[in-house]
Amino acid sequence: MSDAARLHWGLIACMSLLAGCATRVPQVLDPQLAPQSFVGHDTGAGAAWPQPGWWDQFGSPELSDFIVRARTGNRDIAAAAASVVQAHAETLIQRSALFPQLNLQAQAERSRPDGSLISLSNSPSGTVFGLTLGASYEVDVWGLARSNLRAADETLMSARFARQAVGLTVTANVADAYFNVLALRRRIAIANEDIAAINGILQTIQLRVSTGTSSHLDLAQERAQVESVEAELPQLQEQELEARVALAVLVGVPPEALEVRSATLESVHPPLVSPGLPSDLLLRRPDVAQAEASLASAHASVDAARAALLPQFVLNGSDGFASAALGTLLHGPSVAWEYGGTLLQTVFAGGKLVAQKKLAQGVQQQMIAGYQKAVLNAYADVETALGQVRHFDLAEQHLGREVDAAREAFQIAQLQYRQGTTDLLTVLQSQQTLFSAEDQLAQVSLARMQAAVHLYEALGGGWQEQSSERTQFAVR
């Protein structure tokens, strides 16, 4: 084999190797970002990790129904799904660059022999008919088209993960809003009980005033107490209305089309769940997977920008027919063809290609920071939710005992006041302590319930990334 032939085949082999070459995504998952264990982890708590359909474990069919409706009617989920459609279309656009482009052109031209468009002479004119099939193919020697396709594929994956993340967030928000409605209804019931109790004392005071055993001061104080509580009641009712409206928006229906039948949180019980190992958390968070795919897409764009600096090779050719008579256009003698190739190297573009490479590198650095932030936020979310579950549970237990003691104290104070052995101030104080404790207990019960929801959300809600989709691995 001659030296020229060796060189020719050597160049072809090098080009083939370069065409299949793609640099690896930067590994930025530093072990220091991942804790060895969760500080708030209770080793005796529940099964490890949530399961799909985790909301059913709260024991509320109504909540489950709202969540199922939201997953089909919520507009944020619909918008996220539309983003997936757009990303998929972009992958088809980028994939088209890997195939030859074919064009069919038909033409008819009429001209004079001297080439003039308009002539006053009587010289004869001529007509030429043509039919041409043209093809062009840009040889992806440096992997430009494949890098663009890889970037589009990773963007599509990121959009799919984003849709899962939005679905998880909406599910948690529906549960939060539903529990908020029930808690506000409980607080409204407490306020009505407070008003009823005050009115009972008020009747006793009125009777004692009529008999001269109590002063009008006691009567005025108790009436002021009634007005104070009744002034709080409309505010709670407005909050309950706003909570139902917010729930309707999340479900995807008009407010008047949503009915919440349950009236209390007492029938809802948050299940126990364990956070598992910190090393497994990143595989269960769709938002982390979304950031991971965005980084991989940005890196593919860097490869594409680097390839765009190198010469581009284009093969082109055409086959067709040309004839002065339309009837003989497709006959053998009318065949015309041409084939060729083009080597295109940008010599000067005002720094455009270099700037595009720097831009892609800057975006990659931004995605690295975004991915690392998503990792840190994932662990922070779990730690926060674990702390909320533990602390709100303790607070609820203490408040429950406080309510029991305050109720007993209020009952004793009422009895003593009717018997004339204590003053009204003692009754008012014990009454205020009781209903303040009951209202606070309702709010802490809501916080505990929402903390359980946040823990399920922080742990990924039963979602899990496939091993084949991973591009980041801990650097040891």
pLDDT digits (tens, 9 = 90+) for 51-68: 889 999 999 999 999 999
- Report the alpha-carbon distance of residue 67 to residue 57 in Å, rounded: 13
- Report the alpha-carbon distance of residue 156 to residue 297 in Å, rounded: 9
- Of residues 263 and 6, more confidently modeled: 263
- Report the alpha-carbon distance of residue 224 to residue 195 in Å, rounded: 11
The pLDDT value given to residue 452 = 94
The pLDDT value given to residue 171 = 97
Which of 454, 469, 453 lies closest to 57, judged by CA? 453
- Of residues 357 and 22, more confidently modeled: 357
- Of residues 115 and 372, more confidently modeled: 372
State which amino acid sits at residue 173.
N
State which amino acid sits at residue 336.
A
The pLDDT value given to residue 121 = 45
Task: Give the torsion sign (CA, 386, 392, 395, 396).
Answer: negative
- Report the alpha-carbon distance of residue 179 to residue 449 in Å, rounded: 7
Answer for the pair 135, 100: CB distance below 8 angstroms, yes or no: yes
77-91, 209-223, 305-319, 337-351: range with highest mean pLDDT? 77-91
Mean pLDDT of the chain: 86
Q: Is 367 helix (H, G, I), strand (E, B) or coil?
A: helix
Contacts 24+ apart (CB under 8 A), 197-200: 197/410, 197/431, 197/435, 198/222, 198/225, 198/226, 198/229, 198/431, 199/226, 200/414
Task: Give percent of the chain with pLDDT exceeding 90.
Answer: 54
Q: Which CA distances in Å does 140 have to 137, 151, 305, 352, 361?
A: 9, 15, 14, 21, 22
Average pLDDT (68-91) is 96
Crossing angle (nearest 10°) for helices 216-251 and 144-210? 160
The model's confidence at residue 20, banded by pLDDT at 50, 70 and 90, is very low
- How many other CB atoms sit within 10 Å of the CB of residue 216? 9
| DSSP letter assigned to residue 202 | H
**317-334 confidence digits (pLDDT tens):** 887 766 666 655 555 556
- Of residues 247 and 220, more confidently modeled: 247
Q: How buried is residue 395: exposed, middle or buried, by Cβ count under 10 Å (0-12/13-18/19+)?
A: middle
Question: Using alpha carbons only, what angle is made at residue 77 by residues 71 and 82, rounded to the nearest 5 degrees?
Answer: 130
Q: Please, where are the H alpha helices in 211-285?
A: 216-251, 278-281
- Please state whether beta strands 273-274 and 312-323 pair in parallel, antiparallel, or not at all (unpaired): unpaired
Average pLDDT (47-52) is 77
The model's confidence at residue 14, banded by pLDDT at 50, 70 and 90, is very low
Question: Using alpha carbons only, what angle is made at residue 336 by residues 335 and 342, rounded to the nearest 5 degrees?
Answer: 150
The pLDDT value given to residue 323 = 66
Answer for the pair 130, 320: CB distance below 8 angstroms, yes or no: yes
Going through 20-70 in order, the beta strands assigned E by DSSP cover 47-48
The pLDDT value given to residue 334 = 62
Element (H, E) at 117: none
- How many other CB atoms sit within 10 Å of the CB of residue 464? 14
- Report the alpha-carbon distance of residue 419 to residue 407 in Å, rounded: 19
- Of residues 8 and 343, more confidently modeled: 343
- Please state whether beta strands 273-274 and 47-48 pair in parallel, antiparallel, or not at all (unpaired): parallel
Average pLDDT (279-291) is 93
Crossing angle (nearest 10°) for helices 61-73 and 75-95? 40
State which amino acid sits at residue 418.
R
Residue 268 has pLDDT above 50, yes or no: yes
Task: Give the torsion sign (CA, 416, 417, 420, 424).
Answer: positive
- Please state whether beta strands 126-139 and 312-323 pair in parallel, antiparallel, or not at all (unpaired): antiparallel
Displacement of CA 88 from its chain's centroid (Å): 18
| DSSP letter assigned to residue 421 | S
Residue 120 has pLDDT above 60, yes or no: no
The pLDDT value given to residue 325 = 63
- Report the alpha-carbon distance of residue 458 to residue 384 in Å, rounded: 9
In the numeric block, which tokens belong to residue 60?
A: 């509320």
The pLDDT value given to residue 274 = 84
| DSSP letter assigned to residue 468 | G
Q: Which of 127-136, 155-164, 193-202 has the lowest mean pLDDT?
A: 127-136
Average pLDDT (333-339) is 69
Displacement of CA 13 from its chain's centroid (Å): 45
Domains of the chain: 20-115+143-310+355-469 (1.20.1600.10), 313-344 (no CATH)
The pLDDT value given to residue 348 = 77
The model's confidence at residue 130, banded by pLDDT at 50, 70 and 90, is confident
